[in-house]
Amino acid sequence: MNIKIICVGKLKEKYWKQGIAEYSKRLGKFCKFEIVEVPDEKAPEKLSEAQMENVKKTEGERILGKIKDRDYVYALAILGKERTSEEFASEIENLTTYGRSDLAFVIGGSLGLSEDVLKRADSQISFGRFTMPHQLMRLVLTEQIYRAFMINSGSPYHK
């Protein structure tokens, strides 16, 4: 199984990198795991609606360039479907059972995801209606992917 997180922007803080590195290492026994960063589009603080759409479109094109045809794509979106950890684990297990072993999770930039990326997504997933720093979301998502594998393997980690 191949899992990648495609995200906008670079991870700078050492503590985020350390947490993600730990879960990435743990995931190594279950799948090939990678994080793919695409550059964020520089934008001034105050943007018009059209400028915001242009930023999302540019970042979206960069994201779409990293998605393969065979990838099953999850877009992280506030309005996406919320799942429990158990539901998420079951979904991943079902995808692999039916031959979908290449999963891509997409985390957009500070303005969110373009319509083109949302249309390409096979599913939208939400971690609630809170706004979180994108760096934190990477860590949370990586941990939840690891948790899904632990649930599916019957490990007590989840308890």
Residue 86 within any structural domain of the chain: yes
pLDDT above 70 as % of the chain: 100
Residue 126 included in any domain: yes
The CATH number of whichever domain residue 23 belongs to comes to: 3.40.1280.10
| 159 falls within a domain | no
| pTM (2 d.p.) | 0.95
* Short-list 93, 105, 81, 66, CA closest to 1: 93
Average pLDDT, the chain: 95
Tokens in use for 50?
């059209």
Contact present, 92 and 148 (Cβ < 8 Å) = yes
Question: How many whole angstroms from its chain centre is CA 57?
Answer: 18
In a domain? residue 158: no
What backbone torsions phi and psi does residue 107 show, to the nearest 5 degrees?
-115, 120
Cross-strand pairs, 93? none
β-pairing, 32-38 vs 2-8, is parallel
How far apart (Å, rounded) are the C-alpha atoms in residues 60 and 38?
A: 10
Q: Can you give the pLDDT at residue 134? A: 86
Q: What is the pLDDT of residues 25-69, one digit of tens each?
A: 999 999 999 999 999 998 878 889 999 999 999 999 999 999 999
Which amino acids are annotated as binding site for S-adenosyl-L-methionine, given as ranges?
A: 76, 108
Question: Residues forming the annotated binding site?
Answer: 76, 108
> Directed axis angle between helix 14-27 and helix 134-152, to 10°?
20
Q: How many domains does the chain have?
A: 1
Q: What is the mean pLDDT of residues 101-111?
A: 95
Domain for residue 132, yes or no?
yes
62-97 pLDDT, tens per residue?
A: 999 999 999 999 999 989 999 999 999 999 999 999
Whether 75 is covered by a domain: the verdict is: yes
Q: Which domain holds residue 48?
A: 2-153
Asked whether residue 48 is domain-assigned, the answer is yes
